[in-house]
Amino acid sequence: MVVEIKRKVLLLGDGAVGKTSLIRKFVMDQFDDKYIASIGTKVTKKVINFKLKDDELNLVLLIWDILGQSEFKGVIGASFYGASGAFLVADMTRRPTLENLKKVWLPRVEEVAKELPIVFLGNKADLTDEYAFREKDLAELADTYDAPHFLTSARTGLNVNMAFYRIAYDVAKKGKFVDKQLSYPIPEEGRLTLVEVADWIMYDFCSEKGEKNFALTMPIVREQYERAGLDPRNPTKETIMKAVKYLAETEAIYLDQESVEQNALKRLKMLKRAVSKNV
């Protein structure tokens, strides 16, 4: 059976942190956007498919982008209504954008909806030389809300899919379809970039270990990526292949041989979608 549910998620944060760019990067040419003129908001739709044990769940994400000038005015209140999740976006190159998450955006979220799944993003992570705060600062804030955080780049694509899949997962999990078998979504068919593949493999490895351990397993992948010389911002075919091998070695410690091989194959198949000529 295929079940379809719709969920609304918001991107919140100061002007020019990259909200619109992140949505564009995630949704790419699948733009199906509606401009709600009265409240200065644009809605973009993206369907994410989750495979359940026997069923499928199509989660229709309605991504609400709060536009330009309205950012610091009262009009955004209406946009918050009915939201199932929110991104809180800061710009790694401007410290006040982080402080405003605390001062401005989080209080607003809490006013409207308690217990809303939130995901913190430190965007423009490609501009490493211009960082005005560290990942640790963002992590500390996220931790106080028990929420995940990602460093993202709408420019390179770093962690963009990861972040959206994560919020999709959190949002789906909160609804009626709470299901232990809910697995992380697999990117749709078609060509992938090497950055997306490296993201996805990290995602795949962590989700194998279950939702609870997601944050704990992330460092394991990071370590193996480092060992493989894989820079998540600029991965190559060779470093991804090495990383797949190292992750398989790690998994061999606690998984049976067949599962280890299946996982490695699954990951190499993703890589093929980035490097093969005919996808």
Binding site for Mg ion (CB under 5 A): 19-20
- SS3 of 59, please? strand
The residue (of 17 and 274) whose beta carbon lies closer to ligand G3D is 17
The residue (of 21 and 236) whose beta carbon lies closer to ligand G3D is 21
Pick one of ligand G3D, Mg ion, none as the site partner of residue 127 (Cβ within 5 to 8 A by kind): ligand G3D
Neighbouring C-alpha atoms within 13 Å toward the C-beta of 23: 26
Q: Which position among 8, 94, 124, 267 is part of the footprint of ligand G3D (CB under 6 A)?
A: 124
Task: Supply 60's token pair.
Answer: 């229709």
Q: Which residue is nearest to ligand G3D (CB)?
A: 18
The C-alpha atoms of residue 178 and residue 184 are separated, in whole angstroms, by: 13
> 2-31: which residues touch ligand G3D (CB under 6 A)?
15-21
Question: Considering only 41-49, 118-126, 177-185, 224-232, which stretch makes contact with ligand G3D by CB under 6 A?
Answer: 118-126
Within 8 A by CB and 6+ apart from 18, the residues are: 89, 91, 123, 124, 152, 154
The C-alpha atoms of residue 45 and residue 27 are separated, in whole angstroms, by: 8
CB of 118 to Mg ion, least distance (A): 19
Q: Tell whether residue 153 is a contact of ligand G3D (CB under 6 A).
A: yes
Pick one of ligand G3D, Mg ion, none as the site partner of residue 86 (Cβ within 5 to 8 A by kind): none
- Give, in order, the Cα–Cα distances in Å from 101 to each of 159, 222, 229, 241: 20, 27, 34, 38
**What residues make contact with ligand G3D under the rule CB under 6 A?**
15-21, 123-124, 126-127, 153-155
